[in-house]
Amino acid sequence: MTEFRDCRSIPHDLDLSDAVAERLVAHVACSLLPGLERTVGAIDWRHGSEHGTDWTAEGFLPDETLIVLCLQTHTREVRLYLDTAFKPVPEPPWWADWLVVGILAGAVGVGVLLESVGWGVASAVLGFGAWVGRDVLLQIRAERTARPRSIDEESWRQRFNAAIDQACDMIRASG
């Protein structure tokens, strides 16, 4: 299975003000993946006459599995979503800017040498086309050689429930 969803309700004895909701999501996020608490943020929403605030945290596990945590304050539900199909957007390599400059300089050089704007444009298109084609081939190869990753649902369910229990206990203890 490439995705996992779980949902748990927050007990009604806990006040879910914005400050408490943010602390709760941050604590659960940190328990699930240290560092995820830095991504906690509020999303204000409106649907017709209803409105509210959801608190979310999202990031990627070390194996590039997407993890999303969401507290819906109007329903008092915390949702966990894991998906192995998503991939983080990679940072461009350090040499990408230099390659763009090189392709453009080469195209200008061809255009000047041949005294033709058309040949200059054609060589720029050819240079960028070769670069894009190489990237597409590398992505296809990576997808074909990738092994499907599964999610240990029971382990994540236990971790999720334990994290929520700890967060609720921490909030009760702090008053």
* Domain architecture of the chain: domains with CATH: 3-84+148-174 (3.30.310), 96-145 (no CATH)
Place of tokens 């709760």: 24
Look at residue 79 in the predicted model and tell me its pLDDT: 96
**E strand or H helix at 172, and its extent?**
helix 153-174
CB 26, CB 78: distance < 8 Å: no
What is the identity of the amino acid at 74?
H
What is the identity of the amino acid at 109?
G
Question: Residue 57 is encoded by which pair of tokens?
Answer: 């945290």
Look at residue 68 in the predicted model and tell me its pLDDT: 96
Question: Residue 97 is encoded by which pair of tokens?
Answer: 């800017």
pLDDT tens for the 175 residues of the chain, in order: 578 999 999 988 888 888 999 999 999 999 999 999 999 999 998 888 888 899 999 999 988 889 999 999 889 999 999 998 877 677 888 998 999 999 999 999 999 999 999 999 999 999 999 999 999 998 888 777 767 778 889 999 999 999 999 999 998 888 6
Question: Residue 161 is encoded by which pair of tokens?
Answer: 């429930």
CB 127, CB 108: distance < 8 Å: no
Please give the DSSP secondary-structure letter assigned to residue 8. E
